[in-house]
Amino acid sequence: MSHDRTDDRTGALGRRDVLGLFGGATALTLLAPGEAPAQPIRSSARIVILGAGAAGTALANRLSERLDGAQITIVDPRVRHYYQPGFTLIGAGLKPANYSVSATSDWLPRGIAWIEEGAAEIDATAKTVTTTGGQSLDYDYLVVATGLKLDFDAIEGFSMDLVGTNGIGAVYAGPEQAAASWAEMDRFTSEGGQALFYRPATGMKCAGAPLKYTLLTDDTARRKGTRDNVRITYAAHSGSLFGVPIVNEKVRMVFERQEIDVVHNHVLRAIDPGAKTATFDTPEGQETYDFDFTNVIPPMRAPDVVRFNSDLSWQDGPLAADGWAEVDKHTLRHGRYPEVFAVGDIAGVPKGKTAASVKWQVPVVEDQIVSLIAGTEPTERYDGYTSCPLITRVGRAMLIEFDYNNNLVPSFPGVIAPLEELWISWLMKEVALKATYNAMLRGKA
Amino acid sequence: MQELTFETMFAVFQEMFGAGLFWAMVIAALVVTMAYLYVLIRDRAVSWRKFLWAQLSMPVGAVVAVIFVQRITHSQFRDLGGPIDWLVLLGVAALGAVGAAILVYTVESLIWRRSHDEVS
């Protein structure tokens, strides 16, 4: 495939070029100046991308546009692509499970190789990846975009078949589990009782999601007129509800207004589905709480291939224990293996485990790799941009955007206030985000 | 969000209504606009009598547009939280009003004979 494409470009205009010209011409008339596509750079580099999620797919599309002749191989056994920002909407009964599901193959560019296997081992010294099927792949550049591992096994008493029974939900686990969580939340908000929410103490994707789901449960009960029969407790893993202080203070106010009880320094250890209790580790020892509905969120860690079968994890510091990839927080380039990059959830950086972060990280890694190939100086930098449309009820959200320094970095300053609960922020989450995400996957946004 | 381009907006609207409804609405809007231009050129003047009816249809168009947007987005009036929300709502209402006016004017012009208008 890649050979055909290279031949196309050496001669007269190939079919893709002509199509590209029309597409480009249309785009040029509509886009701001400076959007003109750069001339592809000729290269025979072997680039291996581990993972065909949001980050891996978006990067594969962008690199295949920028490089001509490079051998790009993407390694991922998953044939279903998940639009994970949709899980909260599925879990709130607003969208069906298939809202978040598409085919991995729908998004991958032509001219690259997709190996439908997992990565089993990475030898960064020999520059080789071994797949779960035993294939050995040599690379010149490696992009680790494996995502993270939801470590449900770390919660004693939990198993995936419990989701949708005994008041147990697990919105993070997948679209079907999110739909099953909604069935339980719907039943619970009709019957009443104790709802129990929390988050893990590890790094996690979309740290706003546990808060949103708490508020959506509150909203569902209020809409049904059953809020008086429902008690909601949020057990924060630390002394705060959200890592960014100014946002934390706002969330504290919203929780107080919505009559959500908060306890601090509680980390989930075990659940007992029969007794409907959850046990937490706290500074005062273990504490057990009753629940009639709960959203189980497990610790999140680097996948085993990175954590145990590679030398890519941080050796020390706060990101070492869970095996996150050791990369510079601005360039996303590995600290010890300069031909290795990490992008998306697996990147061992202090913030940025959201799809919006991926949108900002991918151009940085693209710039790094293309610059290395072209022998130029990379210019793009990632400053920790993370975005979270924090839903406070169906119909309203806060469009929270921040960086490594905990500064708010609003996209629409003076127009959309980040700490205000607005309808327009809800509209963005509900209707605009998936389209933007899809455009990102194709390398267009 | 890094940039808000026409391409992104286009994708956003397609996603918002679904591809089928989106293209149906685009085609309907184009057909009505073409028909409107056609009657303006044919009649070579704006008929103020018809325009009165068109104006009367504007509030209806505004209300229908707002309800349509609210239904697709699981929203209600109580969700309006700040000035920007009111501006978005007014924008939706204004689009609905103008759309209804053009539609009514065009339909009237196509159905009523030009001579009928001249007699009255």
- DSSP string covering A253-304: HHHHHTT-EEE-S-EEEEEETTTTEEEEEETTEEEEEE-SEEE----EE--H
**Mean of the pLDDT values across residues A414-428?**
93
- pLDDT tens-digit readout, B52-71: 989 999 999 999 999 999 99
Range with the poorest average pLDDT among A66-75, A120-129, B20-29, B85-94: B20-29
Can you give the pLDDT at residue A334? 98
**Mean of the pLDDT values across residues A363-377?**
97
Residue B14 lies in a domain: yes
Pairwise pLDDT comparison (A24 vs A305), residue with the higher score: A305
The CA R_g of chain A, rounded to the nearest whole Å, is 23
CATH number given to A2-150+301-374: 3.50.50.60
CB contact under 8 A, B74 and A424: no
B-chain residues near A422 (CB < 8 A): 81-82, 84-85
Confidence of residue B4 (pLDDT cuts 50, 70, 90): low
Pairing of strands A128-131, A136-138: antiparallel
Q: How far apart are CA B73 and CA B96, in angstroms?
A: 17
Q: How far apart are CA A320 and CA A301, in angstroms?
A: 10
CB contact under 8 A, B75 and A427: yes
Give chain A's contact residues with B (Cβ, < 8 Å). Answer: 27, 30-32, 35, 94, 356, 359-360, 387, 393-396, 411, 415-417, 420-424, 426-427, 430-432, 434-436, 438-439, 444-445
A269 touches A296 (CB < 8 A): no
Pairing of strands A277-282, A285-290: antiparallel
The domain limits of chain A are 2-150+301-374, 152-300
Q: How many residues does chain A have?
A: 445
Nearest chain B Cα distance for residue A125, angstroms: 36
CB contact under 8 A, A439 and B8: yes
Nearest chain A Cα distance for residue B48, angstroms: 37
Pairwise pLDDT comparison (A219 vs A444), residue with the higher score: A219
Q: Report the 10 Å Cβ neighbour count for A379.
A: 9
Residues A128-143 as b or e (16 or more Cβ within 10 Å = b): ebbbeeeeebebbbbb
CB contact under 8 A, A423 and B5: no
Confidence of residue A19 (pLDDT cuts 50, 70, 90): very low
Can you give the pLDDT at residue B44? 84
A198 pLDDT exceeds 50?
Answer: yes
Q: Which residue of A has its CA nearest to B74?
A: A395
Residue B1 lies in a domain: no
Can you give the pLDDT at residue B21? 86
Q: Which residue of B has its CA nearest to A401?
A: B1
- Percentage of chain A surpassing pLDDT 90? 87
Can you give the pLDDT at residue A337? 98
Can you give the pLDDT at residue B50? 83
Nearest chain A Cα distance for residue B79, angstroms: 5
Confidence of residue A276 (pLDDT cuts 50, 70, 90): very high
CB contact under 8 A, A360 and B73: no
Can you give the pLDDT at residue B113? 57
CB contact under 8 A, A438 and B78: no
A152-300 architecture in CATH?
3-Layer(bba) Sandwich (3.50)
A69 pLDDT exceeds 60?
Answer: yes
Can you give the pLDDT at residue A53? 97
Can you give the pLDDT at residue A426? 95
Can you give the pLDDT at residue A3? 35
Mutate to test the interface with B, among A250, A424, A430, A442 (most CBs of B within 10 A): A424
Nearest chain B Cα distance for residue A431, angstroms: 5
A-chain residues near B12 (CB < 8 A): 431-432, 435-436
Nearest chain B Cα distance for residue A206, angstroms: 16
Can you give the pLDDT at residue A445? 73
**Mean of the pLDDT values across residues A297-319?**
97
Q: Which of B14, B76, B79 sits opposite A435 (nearest CB)?
A: B14
Q: Which residue of A has its CA nearest to B81?
A: A422
CB contact under 8 A, A31 and B88: no
Q: How far apart are CA A186 and CA A130, in angstroms?
A: 45
Beta bridge partners of A290: A277
Tell me the pLDDT of chain B averaged across its residues: 84
**Mean of the pLDDT values across residues A160-166?**
97
CB contact under 8 A, B81 and A32: no
Nearest chain A Cα distance for residue B18, angstroms: 10
Can you give the pLDDT at residue B111? 84
A22 pLDDT exceeds 50?
Answer: no
ipTM associated with this complex: 0.79
Q: Which of A394, A422, A431 sits opposite B82 (nearest CB)?
A: A422
Residues A166-185 as b or e (16 or more Cβ within 10 Å = b): bbbbbbbbbbbbbbbbbebb
Confidence of residue B39 (pLDDT cuts 50, 70, 90): confident
**Mean of the pLDDT values across residues A183-205?**
97
Can you give the pLDDT at residue B120? 41
Burial of B95 (0-12, 13-18, 19+ CB in 10 A): middle
Q: In the β-sheet with A119-123, what is the strand arrangement from edge to edge? A: A119-123, A128-131, A136-138
Q: What's the CA angle centered on B116, arms B111 and B120, to 5 degrees?
A: 130
- Tell me if domain A2-150+301-374 and domain A152-300 are identical in fold: yes
Confidence of residue A42 (pLDDT cuts 50, 70, 90): very high
Give chain B's contact residues with A (Cβ, < 8 Å). Answer: 1-3, 5-8, 11-16, 72-76, 78-82, 84-85, 88-89
CB contact under 8 A, B73 and A415: no
Residue B21 lies in a domain: yes
Domain span at residue B77?
Answer: 6-119
Nearest chain A Cα distance for residue B20, angstroms: 15
Q: How far apart are CA A212 and CA A233, in angstroms?
A: 13
Q: Which of B1, B15, B79 sits opposite A396 (nearest CB)?
A: B79
Q: Please count the structural domains in chain B.
A: 1
Sole residue written with tokens 């040599």: A138
A25 pLDDT exceeds 90?
Answer: no
A396 pLDDT exceeds 60?
Answer: yes
- pLDDT tens-digit readout, A424-437: 999 988 888 888 89
A198 touches A268 (CB < 8 A): yes
A16 pLDDT exceeds 90?
Answer: no
Asked whether the CA dihedral A334, A337, A338, A343 is positive or negative, the reply is negative
Q: Where are the alpha helices (DSSP H) in A171-242?
A: 175-191, 209-224
Tell me the pLDDT of chain A averaged across its residues: 91
- pLDDT tens-digit readout, A167-181: 999 999 999 999 999
Residue B45 lies in a domain: yes
Nearest chain A Cα distance for residue B30, angstroms: 19
Can you give the pLDDT at residue A1? 34
Residue B57 lies in a domain: yes
Mutate to test the interface with A, among B9, B13, B74, B80 (most CBs of A within 10 A): B74
Can you give the pLDDT at residue B3? 56
A-chain residues near B11 (CB < 8 A): 435-436, 438-439, 444
What single letter denotes the amino acid at residue B109?
S
Q: Which residue of B has its CA nearest to A33?
A: B5
Pull the structure tokens for residue B119. 């007699």
Asked whether the CA dihedral A38, A44, A45, A46 is positive or negative, the reply is positive
Nearest chain B Cα distance for residue A106, angstroms: 16
